[in-house]
Structure 1
Amino acid sequence: MTAAGPLRPDLARELIDRATKAAARRAKRVRNQLDAVQLGQDRHAEHADTKVLRRVLAEHDWPGHRLVGIEAARAAWSLALHADDDADFQRAATTLLERAVQAGDARVQHWAHLFDRTLVNSGRPQEFGTQQLLTTNGVELCPVRAPGSLDQRRATVGLSPIATGLEKVRLRCAQDHQVGDCSTVVLAEVA
């Protein structure tokens, strides 16, 4: 990104707008505030968001800090993170995001979250402990590979110890949700 701003401010605006609307829909869905018609509309909007992000990735690779700015790169990450209905796309996005991280154009924490999400969605244990379940019993960590070395792996990607990360998620959920009123959803730490 230059001092003048991102190379593609138009693309940045679109990504931020889509991610903002998606977050609002997710919040309503988690709170069980959507009727059947709205749930269908939500699902359609998620597919549209994934389709747009797929086009962006095809045209530009990962939309990193230089292309769209920090806020829009975070928006792209959020859209990819929640593209749970398209596992192939999510894995491809993880690869492109990893390349952007290696080029210094994206945050490694975003890659760690997306990488964990792809593992959880494929039924495998996550590496960095970024994915939790919100159930009627509260926040529970999704299965983790080698839990004894989890904090060491988290440190390599700039994440706080797991106890701190879980506490942040629990506090956010306590503020945002009536846990007993929620169905099971996968959460991610805020990055």
Structure 2
Amino acid sequence: MVVRPVVGVLALQGDVREHAAMLERAGARAVPVRRPGELSEVDGLVLPGGESTTMSRLLESFELLEPLRERIAAGMPAFGSCAGMILLAKQALDGRPDQQQLGGLDVVVRRNAFGRQVDSFEEDLDFTGLEGGPLHAVFIRAPWVEKVGDEVEVLARVPETPAAGAAAARIVAVRQGPVLATAFHPELTGDERVHRLFVDLARG
């Protein structure tokens, strides 16, 4: 019998419903997380897209910041998309001075690296560890990774095409142990392969 892990979705802002639906399809039981008690009961946590500075403040308001840091440091699987990637990073460039970081990934990310809302775009990516061909990725005011530590595995980069411009070869998906992050929004495409990868980590 396949274990169905309980995976939380941080339900303070962002694509909560979309991530929950994909997690269910990928074999998890998805639950919203807004309080420390709810965080303590999950096998893994998704940090959705949204606005990273707002989410940072809400984590403090809901008294989740330190409990979340502690659980990630203790090895809880976590997956961040877009703003979630920014929160999981050790350092974020172009952020507000009061923005908090969770430090689950030894990476430096740049907020809104691809530009404003009008610069949102879609791209097919080669994604290490996923079978079934390229992954269609939706980028919305996305970050990218500028620097990775020795223990961080790069899973995907923007293809080097003339249309990519300054974004060519930029890192847009990473993993460090049980912590996974994408600059794009896999919950918006109907392709649950990234969520299946994360559910396998949570099943652990």
TM-score by length of 1: 0.36
Higher share in strand = 2
Larger radius of gyration: 1
Higher share in helix = 1
TM-score by length of 2: 0.35
